[in-house]
Amino acid sequence: MDLKQAHELALSLMTEHGLIAGGWLLRWGNGRRQFGVCEIKHTRNRRTGKTTTTRTIRLSRHLALLNTDAEVRDTILHEIAHALAGTKHGHDEVWKQTCRRIGANPRRLMDDTVHTPAARYQLTCPSCRKVLANRHRVMRESHLRRAYCRWCGPDTMGKLLMTDTMQP
């Protein structure tokens, strides 16, 4: 499918299902194995402490070019269903129901396996400030005490910070 047409199709379907109004973005990606990704990311501004959430549907340029209109359309709907159902549902019943409702084929699970639900907690190094991990749950105290930054070394053991990105 032509990229310009694919872009227009994606935008119109995202508009129809309320994603554009909900602040979702459409982006092209360069992945060759993954056709579409539905992702929600929380980024915390270290200076202001404010958390911003970005919701994105990303489509592979290469795969959009290689596939037929019907396949591209189905991939877009597949990702829209993830956005509507909530990314944490993966390919479960809730997601399948959403697929049926919006006309996506729930059986077709082309290699889009990585759906990244929002990770709430961030493990950061107080010394180099790198984000070392994004997690869905708080790390256990006993693990946190033994963890250290692989860039800064064992001196940082027990000093890593677990921050809740949902907290203001």
Q: Where along the sequence are the contacts to Zn ion (CB under 5 A)?
A: 112, 125, 127-128, 149, 151-152
Indicate the residue among 127 and 165 with the shorter CB distance to Zn ion.
127
Indicate the residue among 50 and 130 with the shorter CB distance to Zn ion.
130
Indicate the residue among 136 and 151 with the shorter CB distance to Zn ion.
151
> What is the CB neighbour count within 10 angstroms for residue 127?
15
The sign one gets for the Cα dihedral 61, 66, 68, 74 is negative
Contact present, 79 and 38 (Cβ < 8 Å) = yes
Q: How far is the CB of 36 from Zn ion (least distance, A)?
A: 7
Q: How far is the CB of 11 from Zn ion (least distance, A)?
A: 20
SS (H, E, C) 113-151: CCCECCCCEEEECCCCCCEEEEECCCCCHHHHHHCCECC
Indicate the residue among 4 and 46 with the shorter CB distance to Zn ion.
46
